[in-house]
């Protein structure tokens, strides 16, 4: 990661996201990152990654998709023709949003196991909390190994803020980073939004990014409901 202020030391490992932005690692997402690193040497053919909104689940799934060459499907759009087209690794995203054809997903799970393929499934809800009417699928999903991503911790949020500012060629003092991280919504999306808003305001007013400017932007976001 480039452009990090010299005064702010980030002891977080990171890796190129295979063509995407760096995927930063902390305790909140370490287990899920390890799953990506371990592929294709998985002890099980299918794995479920569960994370709340804004924790980086989609980013991690994309890292794995690029690494594995997986075909990606939205769970809500699954259908039987998808089973016939499945020949390699598979990414099934957003189980919590509904499963289009539950029998199709059940058949895909069987196909993955029988042909020794790999499947990564993502969800905001644990398999046991999903609304699944098909008993066989419900049982199969609950039996899958589960990896969770927690909401981003303070170290990860600060690292993301530094990178977001650096990507915009902005060198922001550590105390400003600390202030933003303490007062912002605790999510990756919020980090990107607050940096974009601060950058916009700094350019418009020809001001340096300071704690005062950050406070003004955060205050306006709070008054506007985010």
**Spatial distance between the Cα atoms of 12 and 25, rounded to a whole number of angstroms:** 6
State whether 126 and 54 are in the same domain. Answer: yes
Domain boundary among 148, 167, 201: 148
Judge whether 52 and 62 are in contact, CB under 8 Å.
no
pLDDT in tens, 5-23: 444 445 555 444 334 456 8
pLDDT in tens, 33-61: 999 999 999 999 999 999 998 888 998 99
The pLDDT of residue 12: 55
12 within some domain: no
- Supply φ then ψ for residue 220, to 5 degrees: -65, -40
pLDDT in tens, 146-205: 999 999 889 999 999 998 899 888 989 999 999 999 999 988 888 988 999 999 999 999
What's 141's domain CATH number? 3.40.50.300
Instruction: Of 121, 149, 126, 148, give the one whose Cα is nearest residue 65.
Output: 121
The pLDDT of residue 4: 37
**Spatial distance between the Cα atoms of 70 and 64, rounded to a whole number of angstroms:** 8
The pLDDT of residue 25: 87
Task: Give residues with Cβ within 8 angstroms of 186, minimum separation 6.
Answer: 54, 151, 152, 157
Percent of the chain's residues with pLDDT above 90:
70
Could you give the residue ranges of the DSSP H alpha helices within 46-167?
Answer: 57-68, 80-85, 102-114, 135-143, 154-167
Over residues 81-98, mean pLDDT: 93
State whether 40 and 120 are in the same domain. Answer: yes
With 50 as the cut, is the pLDDT of residue 112 above it? yes
What's 156's domain CATH number? 1.10.8.60
């Amino acid at each position: 990661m480039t452009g990090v202020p010299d005064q702010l030391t980030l002891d977080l490992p990171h890796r190129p996201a295979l063509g995407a932005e760096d995927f930063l690692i902390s305790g909140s997402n370490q287990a899920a990152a390890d799953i990506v690193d371990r592929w294709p040497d998985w002890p099980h053919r299918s794995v479920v990654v569960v994370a709340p909104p804004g924790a980086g689940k989609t980013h991690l799934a994309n890292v794995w998709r690029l690494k594995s060459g997986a075909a990606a499907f939205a769970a809500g759009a699954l259908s039987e023709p998808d089973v016939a087209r499945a020949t390699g690794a598979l990414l099934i995203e957003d189980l919590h949003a509904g499963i289009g054809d539950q029998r199709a997903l059940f058949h895909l799970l069987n196909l993955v196991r029988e042909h020794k393929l790999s499947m990564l499934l993502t969800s905001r809800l644990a398999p046991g909390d999903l609304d699944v009417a098909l008993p066989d699928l419900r049982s199969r999903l609950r039996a899958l190994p589960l990896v969770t991503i927690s909401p981003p911790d303070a170290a990860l949020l600060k690292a993301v803020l530094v990178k977001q500012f650096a990507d915009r060629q902005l060198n922001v003092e550590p105390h400003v980073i600390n202030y933003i991280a303490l007062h912002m919504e605790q999510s990756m999306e919020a980090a990107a939004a607050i940096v974009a808003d601060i950058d916009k305001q700094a350019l418009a007013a020809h001001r340096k990014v300071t704690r005062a400017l950050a406070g003004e932007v955060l205050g306006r976001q709070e008054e506007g409901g985010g």
